[in-house]
Structure 1
Amino acid sequence: MSTDLVTDRERRAFAETLHGELVVPSDPEYDDARSVWNGMIDKRPALIARCAGVADVATAVAFARENDLLVSIRGGGHNVAGTAVCDDGLVIDLSEMTSVHVDPERRTAWVQAGATWADVDHESQFFGLAAPGGVVSDTGVAGLTLGGGIGHLRRKYGLSCDNLRSVELVTADGEYVTASEDERPDLFWALRGGGGNFGVVTGFEFELHPVGPEVATVLVFYDAANLPEILASYREYARTAPDEVSTLTFSGMLPDEELSPDAVDVAKIAIIGCYAGPAEEGMDVLAPLRRFADPITDLSGVRPYEDLQTLLDEDYPDGMRYYWKSLYLDGISDEAIERIASWTEAAPSPLSTIDVWHLSGAITDVDVTESAFAGRHAPYLLGVEANWEDADTDEENVAWVRDCLDDMRQFSDGSVYLNFPGFLEEGDEMMRTTFGDAYERLVAVKDEYDPTNLFRVNQNVKPSS
C-alpha cells in the first residue's frame, strides 16, 4: 500500500474540512473501517472519508480529483463484488448517512445513500407503506437501486429503480445536482439500472405503496430428490400467477437450524415469496406452491412484512466468503431444470445455492427505453451463489460458479443482473452484452458527467475518451 499519495499536510488539511472522520492506515480503527461484508475482500485504501453529509462528499470528490486518487464509493449493506473499497486510493464512505424521512400523504420516502432496506422498512411500515426493496434487510439501498433492485414486491410494484421519483448526487466535478424525469432526464434514465458510474448518489426519493403491516408469505422446503418435478410445477404455477405473487426458488443443502435434525444433511429446494394484497386471499393463492410434493417443512403463513424482509438475513453473515454471478434466462425448460439439478448437486459448499427468480409482471410494464435497466425482457433470473467459510476452498467455490454460468449460458442471451456480477473480471464485454443498444447511450451520459472516469471502481461504463 502506498503511503505517499498525498503529503501529511494535505491529509491534515483534508481532515479538517470534513465534518465526518478521515481514517488512515495508522489509525486503530483502520482495519474495521476497511473491512466489508464479503470476507474474500481484503483491500487497503490509503484514505477512508467517513462522510457525515453532502458537503463532506463534495469535499472528498474534489480532493480525489485534485490529487488524482483512485476512488471507490461505499454505501450501506453488502457489496458482494467488493467495489466499495480499493487499494491505494480514497474510499468515500456513506455508511453513516442513514436518514429516512417518510411523507405518508404524498406516499414518498427520502432516503440517504448509506441506509439499508431495514432502515427504510422500519420507517415506512409505521405508515403501512413500503418501497420495493430486496429480499435481505441488510442490503444497501444505493447499490440495489442503482443496479435495478429485484425484491419481494417486484411483480406487483416493479423494481426499486422503477419507484424512484428523483435522485441527488455529486458529480465528478463536485457539482450537486438533482435528476428526475423533468430535470436531467438522461442522467435519471442512466441511474435507474446503470450502476454507480455517474456520480456519488447521496439521496433517493422513492414512491411508496400500501403494503402490510402483515402479508401472506410462502416458505416451504422440499427434498431436492424431487427438484425436477418441483421446478416443473413451479414453472406451470408461474405461467398464470397474478402480479401480486413474487417468488423465487433456491436449492442446495440449506442447513437451516429450524429444520428437523434428520433433514439438515439432505439437499433441498425451497420456495420463498409473498402476495402483495389482502393476506387471507394471498394464502389461498400461494397454497399450490406448498403442495408440489410432501414438504420437509413448511414455514408459510401470514407475518409482518418487516419479518419477511429479514427471513434470509441469518443465511448471509458478515465476514463469510461470497462469490455470486447471474444470468437472465429465456425460460426454465426441462433441459435447463436438469442442468440446475446437476449443478446443485455439484456445489462444493453446503451453504451455496442456485436461485431461480420469477420476473415479468410490473417489471415489464415499464418500457425498455424508459430506464437503463437491462433485464425487463427475461421471464426468469438465475442466481448462482457460492457461500463458504474456509479460505482454502476459494478456488473450487469460485470455479463452481463460473463453470455453472458457462453451462447455463445456453439458456440465456448472456446478459446479467448488475447486482450479482461476480467480481470485475468480465469488465467491458459483460457490460456491452448486458446493455446492448443502450450501452452507447450510457456512454454519452458518462461523457457528460464523468468524462475522465473518476468513478470507475464499479461495473464500469467507460467514457468515449
Structure 2
Amino acid sequence: MTDSSNVTAIHERLDGRLVLPGEAGYDEARSVWNAMVDRRPRMVVRCASVGDVVAAVRTARELDLELGVRCGGHSIVGLAVPEEGLMVDLRPMGGVRVDPVRRRAWVQGGALLGALDREVQRYGLATTAGNVSHTGVGGLTLGGGMGWLARQYGLTCDNVVSFTMVTADGDVVRASRTENPELFWGLRGGGGNFGIVTEFEFRLHPVGTRALVAEYTFPLDRALPALRAWRDLNARAPRQATFTASVGGDGLVRAGFVWVGDPGQGRLLLPEMRALGRPVSERVAEPSYLELQRVDDSVQGHTSRRYWKGHYLGGFPDAAIEAFLRRGVAAGDAGLPSVSLQAYGGAIADVPDQDAAFSHRNTLFEYVCAARWSEPAEDRTRMGAARRAAAELEPYATGAYVNVLSDEGAEGVRRAYPPGKLARLTVLKNAFDPHNVFHLNHNIRPGRA
C-alpha cells in the first residue's frame, strides 16, 4: 500500500489530482473501452500540466510502480491500466489551439479526436484522424493514424510537425525534423515506447466541411463477384475516396466508399458502384465531416467486451476474397465476428518508407476482425472465432498495424516493423528508455539491436 506520507508528498507536487482506490472518480478513470479490462491501479494521477506528467513519472520510478498512460483508453488489451501500478491520466490535458492562417493545431496529449475535429472544422480545416471521435489523439498518432483523409494527406503521424515529450527520467524534450530528429522519426509510428507526449503540433489542410458515404449491401451468395469488381474499382479510384467493405453479424456484405470533399464529385463514382452487382439495398448520404467522424461512436461504446485481430494485405486475390467472406467458419454458424477492409494507397504510399517508423506503406487494404459481446461466459468462444477468421487471411498478410495488435506480444511487434526498422527502434529505446519504464505498450525492448 501507499503510505500517507507518500500520498501527501505526491499531492503537493501536483496541479491536478491524485485519485486512490475508493475515491470519487477512481472507477471511471480505470474503466476503458474494452469492458474485459478490470484492473485496479494503486493510484491515478489526473494530470493538469506537463509538470504533473513529470511528477507522475518520477513518482512511479521512486515507488517502483508499473506505469500506464491513459488518454482515450482504446487499447484492446487495456495497456493504459496497470494492476497495482500508477496510471497517468492525461485527459484533463485535452486542449486544442488552432492557427487558421498558418494551418497549424497544437493539441495536448490528453485530447480526443472529437475535440481536435471540432476546433479545426470551425475554419474548414482538418488533419487525418481516426474514425471514432472518442479515440485518443496520442495513441492514434504514435502508432501511425489511419483515417478518411489519409489517402489525400497521409497518415496522422505524417502530419505531425513537432512533439513535446516527457522522458523516463522526467526530462521534457522536443522532437521535430531539426530537433532530436531520430526521436521524431521513432515517434511517428513507434508507439508509446519512448516517453509520454504532452503536445502534438499538426499540419492542417483545407478540406471543407462536407462528405459523402456510399454503401451497397449484398447477400453472401452474391458477394464474391461484387467484391471482385469493388477491388478493381478501388485500384483506379480518386484519392478523395476511401473504399470500405465489411461482413457484419447479420451475414450481409457491405461494400462502398467514403468521400471527403465536394459530394457532387463523389457522386461521379456512383454509376460504377451500382454496376458492382445486384445489391439488396443502396445507401448514399451526405454527412458533414464532423458527423462522418462520429458515425461509429455508438457502435464503439465503452460497455462491451471486445477482441480483435488485424492484418495488412498487400493484395486481395480472389482466394483472399473467399476467405474474407467465410470468416473462419461455415455460413450460418452463430457468434461470428465482424470483418472489415479499409483501403490504403494514395498519399500514404507517397511517403518514403524510411521517413518514419511506421511501416508497410504499400498496403492495399487493412483487414480487421472484431468481436463484440456482453457475457463473460462467451469470452473463449468469441475470441476463438475471431482468431479463426483472422487466420483465414493470414496467408495473404504482409504485416500488421501496431494500433490493431492485441495479445500477439513480441511476434506482433515483429509483424508491425521489418527487421531493419526494429533494430533502429531498439537503438532509440536504448537511448531514451534503457530500463523499459514505458513497457505497457506493444513493446520495443531495450537491448542489442
TM-score by length of 1: 0.92
* 1:430 aligns to 2:426 (yes or no): no
1:111 pairs with 107, 114, 117, which one? 107
1:286 to partner: Cα distance: 4.5
User: Residue in 2 aligned with 1:451?
Assistant: 434
1:289 to partner: Cα distance: 2.7
User: Residue in 1 aligned with 2:276?
Assistant: 292
* 1:411 aligns to 2:411 (yes or no): no
User: Residue in 1 aligned with 2:313?
Assistant: 329
Letter matched to residue 95 of structure 1 = R
Distance between the aligned counterparts of 2:150 and 2:270, measured in 1?
16
**3-state SS, counterpart of residue 326 of structure 1:** strand
Contact 1:128–1:211 (8 Å) recurs in 2 = yes
* 1:369 aligns to 2:369 (yes or no): no
Distance between the aligned counterparts of 2:60 and 2:333, measured in 1?
42
* 1:30 aligns to 2:39 (yes or no): no
Letter matched to residue 428 of structure 1 = A
User: Residue in 2 aligned with 1:169?
Assistant: 165
1:388 pairs with 373, 383, 393, which one? 373
Query: What aligned pairs does 1:242-261 form with structure 2 within 5 A after superposition?
Result: 242-253=238-249
1:276 pairs with 245, 249, 260, which one? 260
**3-state SS, counterpart of residue 408 of structure 1:** helix
Contact 2:132–2:295 (8 Å) recurs in 1 = yes
Letter matched to residue 209 of structure 1 = H
1:114 to partner: Cα distance: 1.4
Q: Do the aligned partners of residues 440 and 378 (structure 1) sit closer, same or farther apart at CA in structure 2, a change above 3 Å counting? A: same
User: Residue in 1 aligned with 2:132?
Assistant: 136
1:164 to partner: Cα distance: 0.6
More deviation in 375-384 or 167-176? 375-384
Identity %: 38
* 1:196 aligns to 2:192 (yes or no): yes
Letter matched to residue 423 of structure 2 = E
Distance between the aligned counterparts of 2:129 and 2:332, measured in 1?
31
1:268 to partner: Cα distance: 1.3
User: Residue in 1 aligned with 2:58?
Assistant: 62
1:370 to partner: Cα distance: 0.2
Q: Do the aligned partners of residues 11 and 47 (structure 1) sit closer, same or farther apart at CA in structure 2, a change above 3 Å counting? A: same
Q: 1:88-115, CA deviations, whole angstroms, 9 ceiling, x for partnerless residues?
A: 1000010121111111011111111111
Q: 1:217-275, CA deviations, whole angstroms, 9 ceiling, x for partnerless residues?
A: 2233333332212211111111111222112111123xxxxxxxxxxxx5212235422
Distance between the aligned counterparts of 2:325 and 2:202, measured in 1?
38
User: Residue in 1 aligned with 2:229?
Assistant: 233
User: Residue in 2 aligned with 1:358?
Assistant: 343
Query: What aligned pairs does 1:80-119 form with structure 2 within 5 A after superposition?
Result: 80-119=76-115
Q: Do the aligned partners of residues 128 and 282 (structure 1) sit closer, same or farther apart at CA in structure 2, a change above 3 Å counting? A: same
Contact 1:170–1:177 (8 Å) recurs in 2 = yes
1:348 to partner: Cα distance: 4.4
**3-state SS, counterpart of residue 102 of structure 2:** coil
**3-state SS, counterpart of residue 240 of structure 1:** coil
1:215 pairs with 211, 217, 225, which one? 211
Gaps of 5+ in 2: none
1:287 to partner: Cα distance: 4.4
Distance between the aligned counterparts of 2:25 and 2:136, measured in 1?
22
Contact 1:107–1:208 (8 Å) recurs in 2 = yes
**3-state SS, counterpart of residue 355 of structure 2:** coil
Contact 1:76–1:113 (8 Å) recurs in 2 = no
**3-state SS, counterpart of residue 318 of structure 1:** coil
1:290 to partner: Cα distance: 4.3
Distance between the aligned counterparts of 1:327 and 1:369, measured in 2?
21
Distance between the aligned counterparts of 2:387 and 2:155, measured in 1?
27
Q: Do the aligned partners of residues 224 and 441 (structure 1) sit closer, same or farther apart at CA in structure 2, a change above 3 Å counting? A: same
More deviation in 55-64 or 227-236? 227-236
1:421 to partner: Cα distance: 0.7
* 1:349 aligns to 2:349 (yes or no): no
**3-state SS, counterpart of residue 144 of structure 1:** helix
1:30 to partner: Cα distance: 2.0
TM-score by length of 2: 0.95
1:347 to partner: Cα distance: 7.0
Q: Do the aligned partners of residues 267 and 404 (structure 1) sit closer, same or farther apart at CA in structure 2, a change above 3 Å counting? A: closer
Distance between the aligned counterparts of 1:300 and 1:141, measured in 2?
29
Gaps of 5+ in 1: 254-265
Distance between the aligned counterparts of 1:324 and 1:286, measured in 2?
32
